[in-house]
Structure 1
Amino acid sequence: MDLSSNGFSGKLPASLFDSFYAMKIINENITTSYLGVQYDTLTITTKGLDLQFFKVFDQANIVIDLSNNRFEGYIPRTIGDLIGLRTLNLSHNNLKGHIPTSLHQLSVVESLDVSFNKISGEIPQQLASLTFLAVLNLSHKHLVGCIPKGKQFDTFENNSYKENDGLCGFPLSKECGGDDGVPHAATQFGLDQEEEGDSSIVNWQAVLMGHGCGLVIVLSVIYMHIVGNRISIMVFEVV
C-alpha cells in the first residue's frame, strides 16, 4: 500500500490496518494471479532506495508507505499484527508518542523507517529480535536511552539514529551509564538516591520528633516530681 506524498492529514486510525488480512500471515508460497491487476510502474521507497514494481501485490514486497504526509497522533499498535509486512515507512509526518513495542512482532520486516517525526521515549529493546531487519532509520526524533544490543542492531550505523541527542550506546560515541547497559541505569540510580535521601530526611524528622516528645514527657515528670516534693514539704511544715 503506497499512500506517500499525498498531503493526507489527521490522526492515523488504528482501524485502517484491521482489514489487511493478507499482511497478517507469512506465506512464502502465496500467489498473486487472483488479483489480475497490474500497474505500469509503482515506485516504493524501501531500504533507502526508490524501487519500481510492476505488480500491486507481491508476498516478497508487502509494503506500507505512508511517508511525506501530515499524519498526526500515535503509531497504532495494531501495525504489529501485520506479521507479513516487509517494509514500513512512516517517515516525514507529525506522529508523536513512543515506538510501540508491538512492532517486534514484525518478524520478517526488512526496512523500518519512522524518521522525521515527533516520536519520543526509548527504543523498545524487543526490536532486537527482528533478525530480517536490514535498514533502520530512527533519525530526527526525540529518542532517549540505550540503543538495543545484538543481532541486527549491531550492524546499523550512526545515521540510523542521527539527531537524537538523548540516545546512547553502540554505534554512538556516547556510552550508557552502568556496566550492564540497562537503559537509564545512571538516571535510575540517581532517582533511587534521591528517594533514599528523601526517606532519610523523613526518618531523621521522625527520630527528632520522637526524641522531642520523649524529652517533653521526661521534663514534665521531673517538674511534677519537684512540685510534688515542694507541696509535701509545705504540708509537713504547716503540720
Structure 2
Amino acid sequence: MDLSSNGFSGNLPASLFENFQAMKIIDENVRDPWYVGDQYGIFYDSVMTITTKGLDLEFARVLTTNIIINLSRNRFEGYIPSIIGDLAALRTLNLSHNRLEGCIPASLHQLSVLESLDLSFNRIGGGIPQQLAFLTSLEVLNLSHNHLVGCIPKGKQFDTFEKSSYQGNDGLRGFPLSKDCGGDDGVPQAITPVELDEEEEEEDSPMISWQAVLMGYGCGFVSVLSIIYIMLSTQTPAWFSRMVDEWEYKIVTRMQKHKKRY
C-alpha cells in the first residue's frame, strides 16, 4: 500500500490496519519467491516504483514478499497505532515526513521480518523501545529529526546503524553517537550521592582550577590553625571544639573528592 506524497491529514485510523489480514500471515511453506498473478496463470506486467530501504526501486513484476506500507510525505497526526505490530509479514514501514507524535510502539518488535523502518521527520518523543533490538532482519533504520530521548538499544542490528539514523534527536545517547550512555548494557548507570554532589559543584563553578583549589585549602588550613590557637589560649568550651571537628571533617572530605576528580 503506497499512499505517499499526498495531502492526507488527521489521525492514522487503527481500523485501516486491522483489515490487512494478508499482512498478518507469514507463509512458512513458501521457499522460492513468486510474483503477483502467478497463481492465476496471468502475467502481471504493471510497472511499479517502490520506496524501500531508502531507495526508489522500479519493479516490472511485483513479488508477493514485497509487503510494504508507505504513508510518507503527508500530514498525518496523532499516534502510531500499536496494532501495526500485528502485521507480522510486513517488510517495509515508512511513515516519515508527517506530524506524528507520541512514542514508538513497543509492539513493533513483533515485526520479525521487518527490513526497513523509517519514522524520520516527525514529532515522535520518548525513548527507543529496547525490544526493537530483537528485529534481526532490520537492515535500514531512520529515526532522525524527531524528539527522541534516552539510550539507543545495543546489540544485533543496532550495532550496525550509523549516526545518520539518529541525527536531529538531541536527547539521544549511546553508540554510535558521541554522547555516552553509561553502562555496557545500554542502560544508564545510577548516580551515587557523591557523584551527584561533584556534578553539582562542577555546574556551580565550571571554571574551577587547581590554583583555586589550593587557595581554598590553604585558607581553610590557616583558619583551622587559628581556631586551635584560640582554643588553647582561651580554653574555649566543648561545643566550640565539636564545631571545629566538623569543619575539619568537611575540609578532609572535599580534599578527597577533588583528589578523586583530578
Q: Shorter-chain TM-score category?
A: 0.7 to 0.9
Report the Cα distance in structure 2 between the residues aligned to 1:2 and 1:14, rounded to whole angstroms: 17
Structure ID, larger Rg = 1
After TM superposition, list the pairs within 5 Å mapping 1:1-239 onto structure 2: 1-27=1-27, 29=30, 32-33=36-37, 34=39, 38=44, 40-55=46-61, 58-178=63-183, 180-183=185-188, 185=189
Q: Which moved more, 1:47-56 or 1:135-144?
A: 47-56
Q: Distance in 2 between matches of 1:143 and 1:8?
A: 25
1:61 Cα shift? 1.2
Task: Give the deviation of 1:38 after TM superposition.
Answer: 4.2
**Contact conserved, 1:27 with 1:59, CA < 8 A, in 2?**
no
| Corresponding letter in the other structure for 1:116 | F
Q: Which deviates the most, 41-50 or 165-174? A: 41-50
Report the CA distance between 1:60 and its aligned residue. 2.0
**For residues 60 and 11 of structure 1, do their structure 2 counterparts lie closer, same or farther at Cα, with a shift above 3 Å needed?**
same
CA distance in 1, matches of 2:184, 2:55: 38
Distance across 2 between alignment mates of 1:39 and 1:67: 25
Does structure 1 retain, via aligned residues, the 8 Å contact 2:24–2:86? yes
Greater shift after overlay, 22-31 or 140-149?
22-31
**DSSP 3-state at the match of 1:136:** strand
Provide the identity percentage. 70
* SS at structure 1 position matched to 2:57: strand
How far apart are residue 176 of structure 1 and its match? 1.1
Partners of 2:130 and 2:24 in 1: how far apart? Answer: 23
Alpha carbons 1:95, 1:117 under 8 Å: kept: yes
TM-score, scaled relative to structure 1: 0.73
Alignment check: 8 A CA contact 2:154 2:185 kept:
no
Distance change >3 Å, CA 17–CA 146, structure 1 → 2: same
Q: Deviations over 1:134-180 (max 9, x none)?
A: 00000000000110000000000000001111000001110013455
SS in 2 for 1:59: coil
Deviating more after overlay: 23-32 vs 122-131? 23-32
One-letter amino acid of the structure 1 residue matched with residue 90 of structure 2: L
Structure 1 residue 181: Cα displacement: 2.9
Letter of the 1:72 counterpart: E
Q: Which runs of 5+ in 1 are unaligned?
A: 194-239
> What letter corresponds to residue 46 of structure 1 in structure 2?
T
Deviation string for 1:168-225 (max 9, x for gaps)?
A: 0001110013455314x458x78xx8xxxxxxxxxxxxxxxxxxxxxxxxxxxxxxxx
The verdict on how the C-alpha distance between 1:42 and 1:68 changes in structure 2, with shifts beyond 3 A counting, is: same
Alignment root-mean-square deviation, CA: 2.3
User: Relative to 1, partners in 2 of residues 1:178 and 1:94: Cα closer, same or farther, differing over 3 Å?
Assistant: same
Q: So what's the TM-score if we normalise by structure 2?
A: 0.67
Give the distance between the partners of 2:183 and 2:159, measured in 1 at CA: 19
Greater share of strand? 1
Number of corresponding residues = 189
Q: Point out 4+ residue stretches in structure 1 off by more than 6 angstroms.
A: none
Cα distance between partner residues in 1 of 2:126 and 2:142:
16
**5+ long unaligned stretches in structure 2:** 197-262
Secondary structure at 1:126 match in 2:
helix
